[in-house]
Structure 1
Amino acid sequence: MGLPRFTCPKGRDDESSPHLYVANCGPAVGLSYEIIASVFGTYGEVKGVYSADESGTRVIVSFQEKGSAQCALKELNGKPCSSLGGRSLHIQYSVQSLNKINSTESVPVATSASDLNIPGLFLIQDFITAKEEEELLSAVDCGPWKHLAKRRVQHYGYEFCYGIRNVNTNQYLGELPDFVSQILERVRSFQTLDGAIDVSLDQLTVNEYPPGVGLSPHIDTHSAFEGSIFSLSLAGPCIMEFRKYTTSTWQGKPTTSGDNEDQISQENLDFVRKSIYLPPRSILLLSGESRYAWHHYIPHHKVDKVKDSLIRRGSRRVSFTLRKVRKGPCRCEFPQYCDSQK
């Protein structure tokens, strides 16, 4: 069952609510939900502590009684709390929505693709060496970066156009750079892939993610790229979540793609969620069902919880996404997610 959803506070001062929106508090600043519940529990019974958003720095504290919320707000708002590392909390009342969704609930994080049981998904760790990683980072740092809202990108072969969520096949940028030639050779020698995989890749997007910056849920546009997408992680780790929406909730929704920051609303859509840890120097392959029918998503966290460990993301994460540009319409077996077949 999904976790309760709360409305965003907009200057609300509703003392009838037992729910508090607490800023400057959460896993990203080193405070576990258990510690937060213990501190707030001195003012009354705490029903639960929930993530307020994906930042990891804001939580919802839900009390059993509204009087407990009133006491906690009065005693803790704007004041340093020694039990929470001396942090000054910023607290407002919050109101629970009648709708419930499961998008804020954390899911177990796997460390191998086989644990997820998503057809067509593969992960190979230590795909490159630390020295090769350093050389790849040095090569892209010598090139020109294009600035998006929250990160920088570079395109090779063909440019991905975020406005149309596709590539312009009439604007060929040239062969892929020499610094990825070893990666391409290694990809072609994969022996662990099921079925025939087309690895004649001709498009590269390099993304640089600052700490805490992720990627909205999306499926790479079917008509833009063929069925094999490779993503090499460099410099820093992250987790990637996969979501498969039910046909009934997805009908009529647009197929999203790539890197548009303005994605569809996830509210009231039923979906299955699975998550995997991507360490530096690993490569992920999306093919078949995992490529065509599952949205992939990088949470906007500075700290990821993997099994029983909290792993802080590095000062940067750089990904190399290698794809083959599609020259005709997509004829995949997942028409409900396919822009070519709608």
Structure 2
Amino acid sequence: MRPRFTRPKESNPEKSPNLYVANCGPKVGISYDDMESVFAKFGEVIGVHAADETGARVIVCFSEVDSAGTAFEALNGNPCRELGGRTLHMRYSVPRPKAKVRGNDSLSVSFLSSELEIPGIYLVRDFVTAEQEQELLQAVDARPWKSLAKRRVQHYGYEFLYETRNVDSRQFLGELPSFVSPILEKISSFPHLDDNKSRLKIDQLTVNEYPPGVGLSPHIDTHSAFDEFIFSLSLAGPCIMEFRRYQHGTWRPQPSEDNGTEADKCSNIIRKAIFLPPRSMLLLSGEGRYAWHHYIPHHKIDLVGEQVVKRCKRRVSFTFRKVRRGPCCCNYRQYCDSQTET
């Protein structure tokens, strides 16, 4: 799945601060850091992203159009000594309009968390490499899975109890497995955490395997079960995640509700959606964690803009959390089980 940029036709070479660069990427042995180092010589680079799933095409985003133009003139069609003499092929890349979710033309799909405009929700693309992705998948496949009605799961640290949507903090399963240690280390330097890193002590991991057509019912992770920061790493396949803010009342779907149709009948709902590509990490914090339900539609095929995105044979998510000790004291009382009378 392409990011939010696209190539203009050759007959319309509209300049932009974003360059589509072919013959360059992890697939051909060039890291994103190497590419950023080369392109940064021409101006401030604000991001290097995979252009598609081939691993051999990238989008380089500059802060200024002139910087992109200078890099284009210097590198397009010419051997690049810093990249092993590889010849790069470029076009300017322009923003892609927000896409539409299948079956609901009123709901746009964002490709960047900044477009989503939900406080506390952040997405980092390519949080792990393709090689790390395969290592993580091999590690969990070497361990026993627990089968639920429609998907398989593994729990580490503490088991998540689906009947109560909580954990038994007295039943410690052991330390998190060593194969996620590099992920935990990278999470500790996650952007947007600011002064909260001292409170980031993850001790619970749930691994979910979703076959094609299986999603996730709308829910807010129980406030009293987990602390504020929830990280979700997507592997193997993409998906669309929808967020819902219920303006009145405290609608809470039951674990058996799978398709969210009852929620669709409610009025006064704000709905937003974001595309989660493989190897991306999503952070739920603040308002986005405490007040917005999140939901993965139960589709085998998603229509995103003009592209049909087929769900892969599996999508595997790693959800990292910290078990809460004591009641939640957040500012979202209407959604908080610690502060709402039952």
* Structure 2 residue 104 is matched with structure 1 residue 105: yes
Deviates further, 278-287 or 183-192: 183-192
SS in 2 for 1:133: helix
1:301 is matched by which residue type in structure 2? Answer: H
Structure 1 residue 104 displacement after superposition: 6.2
Residue matched to 1:123: 123
Residue matched to 2:317: 319
SS in 1 for 2:139: helix
* Structure 2 residue 167 is matched with structure 1 residue 172: no
Measured in 1, the distance between the counterparts of 2:161 and 2:316 equals: 19
Residue matched to 1:221: 222
Measured in 2, the distance between the counterparts of 1:137 and 1:339 equals: 34
Aligned partners of 1:236 and 1:313 also within 8 Å: yes
Residue matched to 2:290: 292
Alignment of 1:75-224 (within 5 A): 105-106=104-105, 107-197=107-197, 198-224=199-225
Match of 1:262 among 257, 268, 278: 257
Residue matched to 1:330: 328
Aligned partners of 1:213 and 1:301 also within 8 Å: yes
Aligned partners of 1:116 and 1:275 also within 8 Å: yes
Measured in 1, the distance between the counterparts of 2:290 and 2:192 equals: 20
Measured in 2, the distance between the counterparts of 1:319 and 1:238 equals: 11
Measured in 1, the distance between the counterparts of 2:244 and 2:161 equals: 24
Structure 2 residues not aligned, in runs of 5+: 1-101
Aligned partners of 1:238 and 1:278 also within 8 Å: yes
Structure 1 residue 305 displacement after superposition: 2.2
Residue matched to 1:242: 243
Deviation string 1:90-122 (CA, Å, 9 cap, x unpaired) is xxxxxxxxxxxxx96341111000001100000
Q: Cα distance 1:243–1:306, how it changes in 2: closer, same or farther (>3 A)?
A: same
1:203 is matched by which residue type in structure 2? Answer: Q
Measured in 2, the distance between the counterparts of 1:308 and 1:109 equals: 12
Measured in 2, the distance between the counterparts of 1:341 and 1:118 equals: 23
Aligned partners of 1:121 and 1:286 also within 8 Å: yes
Measured in 2, the distance between the counterparts of 1:228 and 1:147 equals: 27
Measured in 1, the distance between the counterparts of 2:123 and 2:140 equals: 23
Superposition CA RMSD, Å: 1.7
Measured in 2, the distance between the counterparts of 1:124 and 1:306 equals: 20
- Normalised by the size of structure 2, how large is the TM-score? 0.66
Residue matched to 1:12: none
2:225 is matched by which residue type in structure 1? Answer: A
Alignment coverage as a number of residue pairs: 234
SS in 2 for 1:171: coil
1:188 is matched by which residue type in structure 2? Answer: S
Structure 1 residue 211 displacement after superposition: 0.3
Residue matched to 1:276: 274
2:155 is matched by which residue type in structure 1? Answer: H
1:288 is matched by which residue type in structure 2? Answer: G
- Normalised by the size of structure 1, how large is the TM-score? 0.66
Measured in 1, the distance between the counterparts of 2:194 and 2:304 equals: 28
Residue matched to 2:70: none
Structure 1 residue 304 displacement after superposition: 1.5
2:104 is matched by which residue type in structure 1? Answer: E
SS in 2 for 1:222: coil
Measured in 2, the distance between the counterparts of 1:331 and 1:169 equals: 18
Q: Cα distance 1:261–1:104, how it changes in 2: closer, same or farther (>3 A)?
A: farther
Structure 1 residue 190 displacement after superposition: 1.8
2:216 is matched by which residue type in structure 1? Answer: L
Measured in 1, the distance between the counterparts of 2:267 and 2:215 equals: 21
Structure 1 residue 195 displacement after superposition: 4.8
Q: Cα distance 1:104–1:327, how it changes in 2: closer, same or farther (>3 A)?
A: farther
Measured in 1, the distance between the counterparts of 2:221 and 2:241 equals: 15
Aligned partners of 1:108 and 1:307 also within 8 Å: no
Deviates further, 179-188 or 304-313: 304-313
Measured in 2, the distance between the counterparts of 1:339 and 1:195 equals: 26
Structure 1 residue 194 displacement after superposition: 4.7
SS in 2 for 1:158: coil
Measured in 1, the distance between the counterparts of 2:116 and 2:191 equals: 20
SS in 2 for 1:205: strand
Measured in 2, the distance between the counterparts of 1:136 and 1:277 equals: 22
Q: Cα distance 1:189–1:297, how it changes in 2: closer, same or farther (>3 A)?
A: same
Structure 1 residue 138 displacement after superposition: 0.3
SS in 2 for 1:331: coil
Measured in 1, the distance between the counterparts of 2:120 and 2:162 equals: 26
Residue matched to 2:33: none
Deviation string 1:256-303 (CA, Å, 9 cap, x unpaired) is 58xx23378323342100000000000000000000000000000111
SS in 1 for 2:184: helix
